[in-house]
Structure 1
Amino acid sequence: MLGSLDSLVDEEERRAWANACAHALGLDGVAVSLGEELVWFSDWTSARLEDMQFVLGQGPGLVLMEDGGVLEVPDLDLLLARQWPQFVPEAKELGVAALFVWPVNIGAARVGTLTGYRRSAGPLAGRHVAEGWLVADSLAGHLLGRWPGTSAGEDGPGHAGAVDLHRAEVHQATGVLSVRLAVPVDEALARLRAEAFASGRSLTDTARHILEQELPP
């Protein structure tokens, strides 16, 4: 399965591959983020989990970015509410019972995360933890080799060769808000996150709404 990674072309193939990886690792879904950019996911729930971490500034992927190693949360019900007081209820509402996060590394540098979820509580088998490292390592070179501006990538709106940049509209909307409100970019992004959380919409949908308001009638 890892050997077929470089032959993937369209989004449907990549989604099918991500689903196959999730099931091979004993998971219900997986997503990959590089920095603050969501680049690959198997299903809507995986994407939504990444979105919530970005919006709320809480979640296992953010802890991992600081501490490193594989982070296992085999039972969200046993997690102290004060650790992620907003993220945990939202994740449970999606039917998520357990989360597992591997770092995506290039050499000694940590560039992102591979996050898997499961709808039933319980730890992963040891072989699944080890195989998660293989998936994360294979994805690291593949994804970065297809980033915008690389020889293998094809630049375009929200697209980078065989990698979709799912937050391209978020970055655009942040710039629009920064100009409209005359505030720094960091503050504009914070306001965009707050609006997404308050409305219950995804960050991408919220950003798209802001961009549509800028279009001429």
Structure 2
Amino acid sequence: MSVHGLLAGLDRAVGVEERRLWAVRCAHALGLEGIAVSLRRGAELVWFSDDTSAGLEDAQFTLGQGPGLSTDFDDAACQVPDLDADAGDRWPQFADEARSLGVRAVFVWPVRSGGAQLGALTGYRRTPGPLTGRQAADGLLVADALAGQVLAWRPDTDAPMDGPGSAGAVDLHRTEVHQATGVLSCRLGVPLEEALVRLRAQAYSSGLSLHDTARAILRTLPP
């Protein structure tokens, strides 16, 4: 199915499985193997098609580096068509993490509402190579459509509010990370920004995911 056909059916993808399938089909229509949307420079992951795309976003957020956190793209995709050749100097730790996930190329589009940039749409491939002109343009259309979905989103009151969520779902996936950041801020007497940096560093040094590190901190709270 074409990107335009998928966008026409986006509003009908209301269930978790329907959203996952839509995201997978959309990634394939763009010539990608997975996509994800994060807001606030990676601070909140709200939509992803598969575990690898979510893992890429977690790597960027944990390390504080990666193409999705760049500020030098606006009306065009940020293309990293070969991580081995194009990312080692600029994002060395992210490049290592991405390769460990089997990713060889990463592409990022701005998620915008009017003139405000809300976040980024990130796609990946397991083989190197650039986007075609059509794929780069279609990615902008998808990013703009998903911006509307994110702005119109309301939480499902019956859905769990913590944890990594489900592939394809527009949801908050870092609730526990934000809670643990607040705990560290209070314990250490430091601003939230510094507490988040320390949480990231703890996760990276321990080899645990950011979610697992946050849960370990929250488990130390009194009942």
Q: Same fold (TM over 0.5)?
A: yes
The one-letter code of the counterpart of 2:130 is P
Kept in 1, the 8 Å contact 2:37–2:122? The answer is: yes
Please name the residue that 1:101 is paired with.
108
Secondary structure class of the residue paired with 1:154: coil
- 8 Å CA contact 1:45–1:94 kept in 2: the answer is yes
Identity %: 62
Equivalent of 2:35 in 14, 30, 36? 30
Instruction: Confirm or deny: 8 A CA contact 1:30 1:46 kept in the other structure.
Output: yes
Tell me the alpha carbon deviations over residues 27-81 of structure 1, each in whole angstroms, 9 at most, x when there is no partner: 0110001112110011111111111111111110111x34423111111111252
Structure 1 position 155, deviation (Å)? 6.8
Shift of 1:130: 1.5
Partner of 2:121: 114
Residue pair 1:48, 1:202 contacting (<8 A) in 2 also: no
Residue 169 of structure 1: which of 172, 176, 180 is its match? 176
Deviation string, structure 1 residues 54-111 (Cα, Å, up to 9, x no partner): 1111110111x34423111111111252211211111111111101111111111111
Structure 1 Cα separation of the partners of residues 87 and 33 of structure 2: 24
Kindly state the Cα deviation for residue 215 of structure 1 after the two structures are TM-superposed.
Answer: 4.9
Q: Which amino acid aligns with 1:183?
A: V
Shift of 1:116: 0.2
> Bigger relative contact order, structure 1 or 2, given CA contacts below 8 A and separation 6+?
2
Q: Deviations over 1:151-197 (max 9, x none)?
A: xx2375359xx621011111111111111222221111111101111
**1 CA distance for matches of 2:51 and 2:175?**
18
The two structures have a TM-score, normalised by structure 1, of: 0.89
What's the TM-score, normalizing by structure 2? Answer: 0.86
Which of 11, 15, 34 aligns to 1:6? It is 11
- After superposition, the Cα gap between the structure-2 partners of 1:155 and 1:16, relative to the gap in structure 1 and judged at 3 Å, is closer
2:158 is equivalent to residue 143 of structure 1: no
2:85 equivalent in structure 1? 78
**C-alpha separation between the residues in 2 aligned to 1:120 and 1:78?**
13
Q: Distance in 2 between matches of 1:50 and 1:61?
A: 8
Matched, 1:45 2:52: yes
RMSD: 1.7
What CA distance in whole angstroms lies between the structure 1 residues aligned with 2:148 and 2:99?
33
Please state if 1:15 is matched with 2:16: no
